Amino acid sequence: MSKDRKTDSVARRLRFLAFSILAIGSLQLVGAPAAAAAYPEKEITLIVPWAAGGGTDLVARILANLLEKDLGKPVVVVNKPGGGGLVGFNQIAAAKPDGYTIGVNSTSQILQKYSASSYADWRNLSPIALINLDPAAFAVKSDSPWKTLEEALAFAKANPMKVRISNSGPGAIWHVSAALLGSKTGVQFTHVPYGGGNPAAVAVAGGHVEATTVSPAEVGPLVKGGKLRILAIASAKRDPLFPDVPTFKEKGIDFTMGVWRCLVAPKDTPKAIVAQLEKSVEKALREPAFKEFMEKNGLGQAFMNSADTAALWAQDEKDMEKIIPGLGLKKN
Amino acid sequence: MHAIDGLMYGFGIAFLPHNLLFCFIGVLVGTLIGVLPGLGPAGALALLLPVTFGIAPSTAIIMLAGIYYGAMYGGSTTSILINIPGEAASVITCLDGYQMARKGRAGSALGMAAIASFIAGTVSLFGLLFLAPTFANFALEFSAPEFVSLILCGLVLVSFLGSGSRLKAFMMACMGLLLGTIGTDPIEGMDRFNFGITYLMDGAGLIPVIMGLFGVSEIFANLEEQQFRGILKEKIKNLWPTLQDWQDSTWPIIRGTVLGFFVGVIPGTNTVIASMMSYAVEKKVSKHPEKFGTGIIEGVAGPEAANNAGPSGAFIPLLSLGIPTNATMALLLASLMIHGITPGPFLITQSPDIFWSVIASMYIGNLMLLALNLPLVGLWVQVLKIPYTFFYPVILLFCLLGSYCVGTAIFDIAVMIFFGIVGFLMKKFAYESTPLILAFILGPMFEENFRRSLVLSFGSFRIFIERPISAVFLALATILLIVSVLPMFKKRRPAARSKWN
Amino acid sequence: MKIYDLLSSLLWLVIGLAFLAGGVRMGLGPIHSPGAGYFPAVIGAILSLLSLGLFIKAALEKGPLSERHPFWKEADSWKKVSLVVGSLIFYMAFLEFLGYLATTVLFIFFLLKVVGKKSWPVSITMAVLVSLGSYALFKMALGVYLPKGLILG
């Protein structure tokens, strides 16, 4: 009898507890939007892990400009270059998760885990949104004998190590892309590292290497100037800026890879703030000023919300884990 | 459109009031940026890019080009006044420029630097106009082996430029090369000597090292003298270059302009090579080579001309091929593209107003720089009279900020302090810092291109000789080596003593 | 001075050997495809040889080991230099904590008052002027980022 009464009172306590939690919880839900509406109350710092004047920096600055207009408070860009982004990634992750420090990251964060000596774990960040996606563009000199991708690959296959592909740096996304292409098509390329996408593209124009796999943004001006020709692009769909260029998929090669850039925040930033920023970013990406900038510079326009971005990161990591060790790239 | 017609057309646009205004703003901001280090042209251009969104493309480019030019010039002012190069290319100007300032001849140095820069900038513009197509393709020919041979010429010259012990200069050059290896290996991505410190992964920053080695160490050395009145060792002699100065500088300016222009055309080089070569040439042809380093005008006029002919040369690949030769040019490319202009072979025909107004505004920019800076010479010279006790804290602040602002990193300030102390000790022990910094700048470029050449050639060393341009530079480097080493065997150089002993 | 050359050449020798060892450890790679360690090793070796050369040259030099010139130009100049070094380290340590304005004011004040032995009013005024002036120039005119820290930067 006493035992029943005990369990009864425990059950009652539990019910009470459950109701209280529900009550407080619902109060939070009601209260939460009110708290988020007050954000931002002061200026926001946007950390860019690369030097001022670079591609990512420019995109970040335009975005910051537009976010500022939408949020009503200054968004200040701070450059923290170093270690291929490592310094900045670490700084963002270590910042106070109150929504007043955000930043930009890119595929290099995931790549570094497998190709560098130290890396910043993306799990210490909270994705806000994906803001850009640039696929690899396989480009050759305009007077090259290869008019189609098939011709280029056939030659490369028949002459292992003879075809030189320039990339933007050892272990960087375009190097990995070229290596992956080689692995998917069974071709052995010689990879020549340069100090960035621009020099890599110029090297093809000068005839010093046979091809490159950097982004459309970097080969764009040379293509327009008649010096380069893009044979294929590593995206799911054709690039609106180069509608005549087929995708690797169309050619029967399952090769899609490219660089993405995302707006991020430290791990425990309140979900409501992340959601608000996400909406602000979506709005900014639709602004004609932003679209025009991206288009003029050949940068791929893309948007993914926070949840999808998180999924992308996880998937990318799985992919990289499988791909990179098999490519024979030197690891520290 | 004929070149002359085009130029007239361009001037017509460039002389429009709002274009003149923006040109002036650009030049002013550029000079400011050049004088204040740590914020190079690339960073400033990035910051000001949004400003250009609302204005017409030609106006925007005019302003941005003005900034670039202004920054190139501003760097020499600090080199002469306080021995701190505003950017890498101005390192050479420190050698004689600062010594001239100490002898009270800062006015001559600053004035001649401005004039040499103006002449070089203007003359090389004509080169740009008439030789653009030829040079554009020349730029594309440059691949890794050509860079190796060219930089080798520079490296050979490094120890030739100083005035002290040749052996010690070689050693400092080696040290500079070794320091340059710190960071990440450019070909394989391996960590090198960075002990896992993320801030060192891109190497020791150039600006903090320069601030420390040149600026801070000089201050330490000056502080030693309790009665140190100021940088001026002698009374201020003159505010303007003398007739003798003009006479002495004529040929150096001509030679410097030609050198600077050619080097500027080549993508990926640093104009420091041009100014180094100019200094070496002047020293070699001079009737009084031993005076170099004590403060003579030839050591300023030539390198300054080379410095400023460079940007004109660099515009060639940019405008006619759409190929940027360095980070700043890449930014200009981005800004051109934002405004819907794609530089390339079609630029002249599709957007003649852009092309010609840019050329015309470059000339106007040069003119404005001269007009802006010559009157300032008097002001700068008076600045040297400020009592040192008040002067040096400001300079230290300037060094601190310059080091910090590049990457917003406290670590860079630590680097600056470290090299400040190192530089001070080097002075005491009679070692020169110029070879070190020059090798530090050139070393990484040399190694990267050397190894890249071997990848391109599939391991064959013949690539350096088989490619004609590379072979030419290699031959030049050999000649330079022989020429600079020969004196060591001919007669003994007087044993160099430290200035501080 | 002979002793300086002897001592310093030993230092460079050690540094050269260190880079040589480090380079070898990193891997020299085959001659036609030099590895990461190749360049540092070669230059390190050259530096070591040159420093040996300097050592021998200095050792063979006739003359006294050290001359009458002391290391410090004047008796207590080491105090001044050390204070300045200290102030620089202070700046580095506190810039991000106290913020630009506060740190700069303290820094300039210290240099003027303690090292320069200027009076209180002069030191304080100059410190404030320089800090505010540079703040206006860098942050407002040029848009450079300066740390905020404790006290409003």
Identify any residues that bridge with C97 across adjacent strands, giving them in sequence order.
Answer: none
Question: In the predicted model, what is the mean pLDDT of residues B196-221?
Answer: 87
In this prediction, residues B242-248 reach a mean pLDDT of: 87
- Candidates B49, B143, B339; nearest CB to A208: B143
What's the gap in Å between the CA of B186 and the closest CA on chain A?
Answer: 7
What is the reported pLDDT for B328? 66
* pLDDT tier for residue B182 given thresholds of 50, 70 and 90: very high
Nearest CA in chain B to A172: B189
For residue A33, cis peptide bond before it (omega within 30 degrees of 0): no
Map out the domains of chain A as residue ranges: 12-133+259-327, 137-233
Helix (H, G, I), strand (E, B) or coil at A77: strand
Instruction: State whether C43 and B430 contact (CB < 8 Å).
Output: no
Rg from Cα positions in chain B? 22
C10 or B222, which is more confident?
Answer: C10
Q: Identify the chains in contact with B, defined as 3+ C-beta pairs within 8 A.
A: A, C
Question: For residue A267, which of A99, A136, A140 has the smallest C-alpha distance?
Answer: A99
Residues in chain C within 8 Å Cβ distance of A79: 145
Interchain CB contact of A286 with B (< 8 Å): no
- The full DSSP string for A189-245 is PEEEE-SSHHHHHHHHHTTSSSEE---HHHHHHHHHTTSEEEEEE-SSS--TTSTTS
Indicate whether C85 and C131 sit together in one domain.
Answer: yes
And the tokens for A317?
């990591």
Identity of the residue in B32, B171, B225 whose CB atom sits nearest the CB atom of C51: B171
Whole-number pLDDT of residue A106: 93
Q: Is C45 helix (H, G, I), strand (E, B) or coil?
A: helix
Average pLDDT over residues B334-359: 70
Which residues does chain A have with pLDDT short of 70? 1-37, 53, 328-332
A209 interfacial to chain B (CB closer than 8 Å): yes
Number of domains within chain C: 2
Cα A279 from Cα A276, distance rounded (Å): 5
Question: Chain A residues with CB inside 8 Å of B64's CB?
Answer: none
Which of B392, B340, B90 lies closest to B225, judged by CA?
Answer: B392
Question: For position A36, what pLDDT does the model report?
Answer: 47
Q: Which of B264, B371, B276, B372 is nearest to B318 (CA)?
A: B264
Token reading at B184: 């990440």
List the single residue in B with minimal CA-CA distance to C25: B192
Smallest Cα distance from B143 to chain A, Å: 7
Phi, psi of A77 (to 5 degrees): -85, 130
Question: Is the model's pLDDT at B70 over the cut of 90?
Answer: no
The correct CATH number of A12-133+259-327 out of 3.40.50.300, 3.40.190.150, 1.20.1090.10, 3.40.50.920 is 3.40.190.150
Domain holding C102, by residue range, is: 77-152
Residue A55: CB partners within 8 Å, gap ≥ 6? A197, A217, A297, A299, B334
CB contact under 8 A, A226 and B448: no
Work out the burial of residue A186: count CB atoms within 10 Å of its CB; fewer than 13 is exposed, 13-18 middle, 19 or more buried: exposed
By DSSP bridging, strand A211-212 and strand A164-167 are parallel
Q: Is-contact B102 B232, C-beta < 8 A?
A: yes
pLDDT in tens, C15-37: 999 999 999 998 888 888 888 89
Is B330 in Cβ contact with A53 (below 8 Å)? yes
Among B407, B392, B440, B406, smallest CA distance to B215 is for B392
Dihedrals phi, psi of A18, to nearest 5 degrees: -60, -45
Decide if pLDDT at B49 tops 70: no
Cβ atoms < 10 Å from Cβ of B485: 14
C122 and C88 part of one domain = yes
Enumerate residues 138 to 177 of chain A having a beta carbon within 8 A of any beta carbon in chain B.
Answer: 161, 164, 169-171
Render pLDDT for A7-43 as a digit per residue (tens, 0 to 9).
556 666 656 555 545 544 444 444 444 444 588 888 8
Stated pTM of the model: 0.84
User: What pLDDT score does B381 carry?
Assistant: 79
The residue among A202, A224, A290 with the most chain B CBs within 10 A of its CB, best to mutate, is A202
User: Per-residue confidence at C153, pLDDT binned at 50, 70, 90?
Assistant: very low
Average pLDDT over residues B39-44: 62
The pLDDT value recorded for residue A31 is 42
- C-beta atoms surrounding B439 within 10 Å: 27
Q: How far apart are CA B373 and CA B80, in angstroms?
A: 14
CB-CB neighbors (< 8 A) of C141 in chain B: 32
pLDDT at site B368: 83
Phi, psi of A266 (to 5 degrees): -60, 160
Phi, psi of A135 (to 5 degrees): -80, 165
Q: What is the mean pLDDT of residues B386-414?
A: 87
| Whether residue C109 sits in one domain with residue C55 | no
pLDDT of residue A195: 84
Encode pLDDT of C63-77 as tens digits: 777 777 777 776 678
Please report the pLDDT score of residue A33 as a whole number: 47
Q: Residue A275: its pLDDT value, please? A: 94
Residue A194: its chain B contacts at CB < 8 A?
A: 452
Rounded distance between C-alpha atoms, residue B326 and residue B124, angstroms: 18
The alpha-carbon radius of gyration of chain C (Å, integer) is 24
Residues C82, C132 share a domain: yes
Cβ–Cβ under 8 Å, residues B77 and B47:
no
**Test the B interface: residue of C15, C19, C98 with most B CBs within 10 Å:** C19
Tell the CATH superfamily of the A137-233 domain. Answer: Periplasmic binding protein-like II (3.40.190.10)
- A296 to chain B, any CB pair closer than 8 A? The answer is yes
**Which range among A149-158, B69-78, B118-127 has the greatest average pLDDT?**
A149-158
User: What is the rounded distance in angstroms from the CA atom of residue B366 to the CA atom of residue B360?
Assistant: 10
Is the pLDDT at B42 greater than 90? The verdict is: no
Does residue C81 sit in the same domain as residue C120?
yes
Chain C's closest residue to B396, CA to CA, is C88
Q: Which of A122, A120, A116, A88 is nearest to A104 (CA)?
A: A88
pLDDT value at position A17? 52
pLDDT of B450 higher than 90:
yes
> Residue B387: is its pLDDT beyond 80?
yes
Query: Between the CA atoms of B32, B34, B39 and B40, what dihedral angle is there, to the nearest 10 degrees?
Result: 140
Cα separation of B312 and B314, whole Å? 5
* Tens digits of residue pLDDT in B293-325: 888 888 999 999 998 887 777 777 777 766 666
Contacts of B385 (CB under 8 A, 6+ apart): B230, B232, B236
The reported pLDDT for the residue numbered B287 is 86
C64 versus B439: the higher-pLDDT residue is B439
Residues of chain A neighbouring B316 (CB-CB closer than 8 A): none
Is residue B74 scored above 50 in pLDDT? Answer: yes
Angstrom distances, CA of residue B482 to CA of B177, B290, B478, C42: 21, 19, 6, 21
Does C105 lie at the interface with B, CB-CB under 8 angstroms?
no
**Nearest residue on chain C to A46, judged by CA atoms?**
C145
The mean pLDDT of chain B is: 81
pLDDT at B200: 87
Listed range (A222-226, B16-20, B489-493) with the worst mean pLDDT: B489-493
Identify from B181, B390, B396, B405 which residue to disrupt to test chain C contact, counting C C-beta atoms within 10 A and taking the largest count. B181
DSSP element (H, E) containing B369: helix B352-383
